[in-house]
Every structure is written in structure tokens, then in C-alpha cells.
Structure 1
């Protein structure tokens, strides 16, 4: 959600790509745990509030992390970001028209994806143990 709103990861490590020690998964995890998230000023107050809620480092205070799943869901649905813009009953009943519904000819139709990505050879990597 942060990436869609801000256009970048909340955990970007700027200027550290060349440093092997800082270009690792472990270092990324360290950044996630320790680095303070900066919310762009260009975002609305509601957008900033929901991002801060979802990205709260304390899981006990993080939005949607209530141990009771029903309460967690209600907490998210009642957040000011969603409360005024989404009719949850219509959404759950699949009665909401999507804002964009691309026409596709098959489940392998790639016409809506840039060839920069579709022409790229797959890079298969093994799962972490």
C-alpha cells in the first residue's frame, strides 16, 4: 500500500547498493526493524494515518494485528481511510464495479503488461530453507 501511494518502498536503502554488507536480506530485515518510516508529505492525512497504522513497529499497536481476527478486521474497516470511501457490504457481496476492468482474451494474455517485463527471462531462485 505504501509503495502504491508513495512510489517506493518504505524500506529503501538509498545509496548503499554497492556495499555488499548492506545489500543483503539480513540488512533489509535490520532496516525494517530499526529504521523509522518516513511518510511523504504529499499524501493526505488519511493516507498517512493508515500507512502509519499498518507500518507500526509494535505489533501490539499495529493496525489489523489484534489477536481476535474479527476485531482486527473491524479495526481496519473502520479506519478513517476506508470508512468514508468503501461500502463493505457491497464489496463483500461482490456488487462493486471495479474502476478498471481490462479486457483479456485468455489467462495468458499479456497485452496490458510492458514488454520490458514480459520479454525478460525468468530468474528462478531456490526457496529459503
Structure 2
């Protein structure tokens, strides 16, 4: 796995359930909104230390404030049984949270949702939708 996505129970090696998947979703949402994972560090042991301290110690960028920030915090609870979809009510808790209030779950289920953005692709070799800036390249390990 990727250290940035390790849930506390994985780090502690105390066994785990599908609650780790909800943890990973919280990390993914944070990363998609901000451009970096919440417990970011160049060193896995530092990531694990940050995860162990909890999400309350993580500074949230403006992109992660409001309803999306609340959802992230509910998914990144240190105690697996306290994560939003693991509580009584299950996945329905996700569907009714404020961040998803305008989302049409029925259209999604029926495969009728239109993508919010559809890139223009001129050919199979068209790379215009990908950044060529060096700072956008993934980190390389030497």
C-alpha cells in the first residue's frame, strides 16, 4: 500500500475491517481537493506519526473547508467504528451528508449522469490535457 493512505489500525497492526477503505476515501478526497495528502511527508515513518496524531492536527487548506472538510473529518476518525459509513445507517450516512446534498444518486445508479468536465481530445496521441511543467511531475525516488 501507499503510506499516505494507511489507516491508524494498519499502522498499529491490530487488525482491520473495511473501515480502512473509508479512511482511504477521506485521504483521497483531501488530496483531490488540495493537491496533496493530509499526512504528507517524504518519509513513511513521519507519515505514520502524523496519522497517529490524528486529523485534528492537520491544517486544512481553504479548498477543504465547509461541507467537504466535515466529510473528510468524518471519514478520517482514528477509531474505525466512528467513521461515517461504519456507524449505524451505513453508506446512507454518506449519501445524506451535506457535501452530497445536490448529488443525484439515482441518476448515478442508472448511469445517466453527465460528467462535469469533458476534455477535448483531438487524437489518440493528443497530450494537450496533461501538464508539461516540471513541478507537476510525480516525485522521483533516487
The TM-score with structure 1 as length reference comes to: 0.64
Residues in 2 aligned to 1:27 and 1:44: alpha-carbon distance in whole angstroms: 25
Task: For structure 2, list consecutive stretches of 5 or more residues without a partner in the other structure.
Answer: 1-28
The TM-score with structure 2 as length reference comes to: 0.60
Residues in 2 aligned to 1:44 and 1:6: alpha-carbon distance in whole angstroms: 10
Q: Which of 87, 90, 97 is the matching residue for 1:79?
A: 97
2:66 match? 45
Change (3 A) 1:116 1:6: closer
Structure of higher CA gyration radius = 1
Change (3 A) 1:100 1:32: same
Q: Deviations over 1:5-58 (max 9, x none)?
A: 334432135xxxxxxxxx521221121121423334665531221111111111
1:17 match? none
* Structure 1 counterpart SS, 2:81: coil
* Structure 1 counterpart SS, 2:72: helix
Q: Structure 1 segments of 4 or more deviating over 6 A?
A: none
Aligned length: 109
1:12 match? 40
1:26 maps onto 2:45 in alignment? yes
Q: Which has the higher contact order (CA 8 A, sep 6+)?
A: 2
Q: Which of 129, 134, 142 is the matching residue for 1:112?
A: 129
2:13 match? none
CA positional deviation for 1:73: 2.1
The root-mean-square deviation of aligned C-alpha atoms, in Å, is 3.2
Change (3 A) 1:64 1:99: same
